[in-house]
Amino acid sequence: MTTAAHDTQTTATTMTDRPSRRPGFRLLGLARAELTLLLRNRMQLIVAITMPVAIPFLLLPLVNRGVPAETLAGAMGLMIVMALLFVVYYNLLSAYVARRQDLVLKRLRTGEASDATVLASTAVPALTIAVTMILLMGAFSTPMLGLPLPTHPLMIVLGVALGAVVLVPLALVTATMTRTVEAAQVTSLPLMAVLLIGSGAVVPLDLMPEWFGRLVRLIPSSAIVELTRTGWLGVDADGAARTTAQVWGSAIAPTAVLLGWLALGLVLVARTFRWEPRG
């Protein structure tokens, strides 16, 4: 083998083995840059950190009124939905619109990273902060509100993880319809209103007409609340105890709802997301 050929083969091998060219390393590298930008945005950072930690204090009046544990667990599900809405959905909506309008997404798309890597890297810091803060919120809430330890913590993790991931494509779909970062305050309202209705924040689910309640249960936030309440106490909405098999059997429907929304969101993003700035 000639020296030139050997050098060429060595260079090719080095480039192939270079860690920075692997998709995982590219994702982490871009996510690190996004985290730096998030830390510089003090307003978003304050909301992301203080809101989930302050949420347990908002539920103390319910404890003082002697509400049952089932209501408190449902309220915790509602607070998880609110934390995800502000930390994940609204933060990502603003970030995607800002990056698109500043041509950041377009420039990143011309590099080695795939479209999915570019979009996912923006979401990683928000998802990480949201999950961390929700874990802290649960740790604070359990002793403060007198709640028992979760009977099925994996179910709560399932609801939080799927709920957080579902909000990423929903933020991307909303970003497609949003011209500026300022306009995100308006374009985010419809989806946030629907999700708050589904969580029971507007009208408790048990007070809704039966036909309307069935529709509401198809909303992702309703599935998150149901998984949180059932996973925390191991009982149904009426407070009746369930076996482990019954608990996980009841998780099938809300899990399917979240997976369905995730699939729908990914399809819409693939077909409609705009990489060019909106005029």
What are the start-end ranges of the E strands in the chain? none
How far apart are the C-alpha atoms of 209 and 215, rounded to whole Å? 10
pLDDT in the model for residue 192: 93
pLDDT higher at 139 or 56: 139
Is the pLDDT reported for residue 10 higher than 70? no
pLDDT in the model for residue 173: 96
- Confidence band, pLDDT 50/70/90 cuts, at residue 4: very low
Q: What is the pTM of this model?
A: 0.84
Q: Could you give the count of Cα atoms lying within 13 Å of 30 in the half-sphere of its Cβ?
A: 26
pLDDT in the model for residue 13: 40
How far apart are the C-alpha atoms of 268 and 272, rounded to whole Å? 6
pLDDT higher at 169 or 277: 169
The proportion of the chain whose per-residue pLDDT surpasses 70, expressed as a percent, equals 85
How far apart are the C-alpha atoms of 116 and 269, rounded to whole Å? 10
pLDDT in the model for residue 92: 92
3-state secondary structure of 150: coil
pLDDT higher at 209 or 87: 87
- Confidence band, pLDDT 50/70/90 cuts, at residue 219: very high
How far apart are the C-alpha atoms of 233 and 229, rounded to whole Å? 6
Residue among 58, 52, 83, 93 at smallest CA distance from 190: 93
pLDDT higher at 78 or 40: 78
Quick: pLDDT tens for 220-251: 999 999 999 889 888 766 666 678 888 899 89
What are 271's two structure tokens?
Answer: 């077909």
Quick: pLDDT tens for 91-147: 899 999 999 999 988 888 887 788 898 899 999 988 988 888 888 888 888 888 888
